[in-house]
């Protein structure tokens, strides 16, 4: 089983897969045909839409709450209602897609997300709005792992997959960033309802549903074992409880009995899940698979890069608006520059991975993210918008490299029959990472007497954790200093 294997240098005949349109030329000159580009467009557009929807609502919450009659304390449910199902059901739907067909489930997820977006847009009271958000999260839990597994099974391991995952990772990062920028503009000009349905329903969903049936190949596990129901129940319940407790902690701190109760319940269910999987004849998650260095350390790196960068964005928003007094629009411009920098990084990240391999790129990207997070400590209490913009933009470039290379590290060398499981782990790591960073570190910025002092404390801890993770991942993956891809059995 090859990991980070180098593109063959022996000339091979040019062949084209009639289903996907992927063309492999001689001497590693693999390129995408027009049909393959359309396949990539559909899959990446769906991922971009989910990322955009995750972040676009944030700045609209105060207006939304007044319009629908949601109290300030209840506003967290606008975010939590999406986060719970989108994170809790990822592993389950990734495995169901392996067994019953990734394309079918992907199309079902698109339709569900579109209908849920329409419900949230037309919401007439808090209950209808939160129901729409929860169904959006459920649709996202279907779209994200199936879209990623369709991408990794459609594009063969090597330069083509590097390029495809690079584009997907770039759009994922841009979706979160653009959502933050667009949220304020759309709320001011078109109202909060536009953040729910205007982009996702009228543009991406309709277009993707029109193109996907004729473009995407169907794929599933050749032999169809029975679904591991006990494993599905324990892991889904554990993730739901964990995400709920951490989402609540982000809003109210860790003092509540319900926060600690659901946290302990979630951990207990995840332990039960590990026990169930060790005895199941057809486990939802193969424990030997989790013992692979690339999967274990790759997902650890993903957890760190997502959780720590989400924390940076959170505390930097506080710093720019409350310490420097920047308006929402000017703060959005800072993150707009960050998004452009991420897009730039995504355009050359596959070339870096092709030169140094995914594991060394992952280690180096984590190190760069940590160092430029530390550079944010140079900002002052009453100045430093330019320093903050430059430092967070460069940190985000390394963050984007980490996103792409950790996805490739985890899925490289995995059989097609297990790609739904592997990509389910990737996307679950992503969702949990986005959830845990702010309650674990961001609370330090809001509970200290001095906001600026709290921001510096968070940034210092954040940078130290990312640099430490880079060292651990480098050692764990055996990422040496030599250049080029290496072949591992």
Per residue in 95-111, pLDDT (tens digit) is: 788 777 888 888 888 88
13-37 confidence digits (pLDDT tens): 434 444 444 444 333 446 666 777 7
Mean pLDDT of 135-139: 89
pLDDT over threshold 90, residue 5: no
pLDDT score recorded for residue 448: 64
Task: Return the HEC string of 383-400.
Answer: CCHHHHHHHHHHHHHHHH
C-alpha to C-alpha distance for 427 and 309, rounded to whole angstroms: 16
Q: Is the pTM higher than 0.85?
A: no
pLDDT tier at 6 (50, 70, 90 boundaries)? very low
**18 Cβ contact partners less than 8 Å away, ≥ 6 residues apart:** none
pLDDT over threshold 90, residue 241: no
**487 Cβ contact partners less than 8 Å away, ≥ 6 residues apart:** 2, 3, 4, 5, 6
pLDDT over threshold 60, residue 452: yes
CA-based nearest residue to 137, from 277, 29, 253, 247: 247
Whether residue 395 contacts residue 403, with contact meaning beta carbons closer than 8 Å, is answered with no
Choose the weakest-confidence range: 4-18, 65-79, 178-192.
Answer: 4-18
pLDDT over threshold 50, residue 481: no
206-223 confidence digits (pLDDT tens): 777 777 777 676 666 666
pLDDT tier at 250 (50, 70, 90 boundaries)? low
C-alpha to C-alpha distance for 361 and 38, rounded to whole angstroms: 28
Whether residue 109 contacts residue 86, with contact meaning beta carbons closer than 8 Å, is answered with no
DSSP 59: G
150-198 confidence digits (pLDDT tens): 887 777 767 777 777 777 777 776 776 677 666 666 766 777 777 776 5
pLDDT tier at 140 (50, 70, 90 boundaries)? confident
In the sheet where 22-24 sits, what is the strand order?
Answer: 15-16, 22-24, 31-32
Choose the weakest-confidence range: 301-305, 341-345, 395-399, 439-443.
Answer: 439-443
365-396 confidence digits (pLDDT tens): 999 999 999 998 887 766 677 888 888 889 98
Q: What share of the chain is helix, strand, coil (3-state, %, to 5)?
A: 80, 0, 20
**257 Cβ contact partners less than 8 Å away, ≥ 6 residues apart:** none
């Amino acid at each position: 089983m090859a990991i980070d294997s180098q593109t063959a240098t022996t000339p091979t005949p040019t062949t084209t897969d009639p289903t996907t349109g992927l063309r492999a030329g001689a001497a590693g000159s693999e390129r995408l045909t027009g049909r393959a580009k359309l396949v990539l467009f559909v899959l990446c557009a769906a991922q971009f839409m989910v990322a955009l929807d995750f972040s676009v609502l944030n700045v609209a919450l105060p207006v939304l709450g007044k319009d629908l009659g949601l109290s300030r304390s209840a506003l967290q449910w606008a975010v939590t209602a999406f986060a719970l199902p989108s994170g809790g059901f990822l592993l389950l739907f990734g495995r169901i897609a392996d067994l019953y067909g990734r394309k079918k489930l992907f199309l079902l997820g698109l339709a569900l997300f579109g209908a849920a977006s329409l419900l949230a847009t037309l919401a007439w009271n808090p209950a209808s709005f939160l129901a729409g958000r929860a169904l959006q999260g459920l649709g996202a839990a279907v779209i994200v792992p199936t879209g990623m597994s369709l991408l990794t099974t459609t594009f063969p391991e090597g330069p083509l997959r590097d390029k495809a995952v690079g584009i997907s990772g770039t759009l994922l990062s841009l979706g979160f960033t653009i959502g933050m920028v667009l949220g304020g503009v759309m709320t001011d000009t078109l109202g909060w309802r536009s953040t729910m349905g205007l982009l996702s329903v009228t543009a991406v969903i309709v277009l993707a549903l029109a193109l996907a049936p004729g473009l995407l190949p169907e794929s599933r596990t050749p032999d169809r074992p029975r679904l591991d129901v006990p494993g599905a129940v324990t892991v889904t319940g554990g993730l739901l409880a964990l995400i709920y407790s951490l989402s609540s902690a982000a809003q109210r701190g860790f003092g509540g009995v319900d926060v600690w109760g659901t946290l302990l319940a979630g951990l207990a269910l995840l332990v039960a899940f590990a026990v169930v999987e060790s005895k199941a004849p057809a486990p939802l998650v193969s424990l030997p698979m989790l013992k692979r260095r690339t999967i274990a350390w790759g997902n650890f790196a993903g957890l760190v890069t997502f959780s720590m960068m989400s924390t940076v964005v959170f505390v930097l928003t506080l710093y720019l608006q409350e310490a420097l007094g920047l308006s929402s629009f000017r703060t959005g411009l800072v993150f707009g520059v960050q998004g452009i920098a991420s897009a730039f990084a995504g355009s050359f990240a596959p070339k870096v991975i092709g030169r140094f391999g995914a594991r060394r790129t992952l280690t180096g990207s984590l190190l760069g993210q940590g160092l430029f997070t530390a550079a944010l400590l140079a900002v002052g209490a009453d100045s430093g918008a330019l320093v903050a913009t430059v430092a967070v933009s460069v940190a985000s470039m390394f963050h984007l490299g980490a996103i792409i290379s950790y996805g490739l590290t985890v899925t490289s060398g995995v059989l097609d029959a297990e790609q739904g499981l592997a990509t389910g782990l990737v996307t679950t790591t992503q969702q949990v990472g986005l959830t845990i960073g702010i309650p674990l570190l961001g609370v330090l910025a809001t509970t200290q007497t001095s906001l600026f002092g709290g921001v510096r404390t968070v940034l210092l801890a954040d940078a130290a954790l990312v640099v430490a993770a880079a060292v651990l991942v480098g050692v764990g993956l055996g990422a040496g200093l030599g250049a080029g891809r290496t072949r591992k059995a």
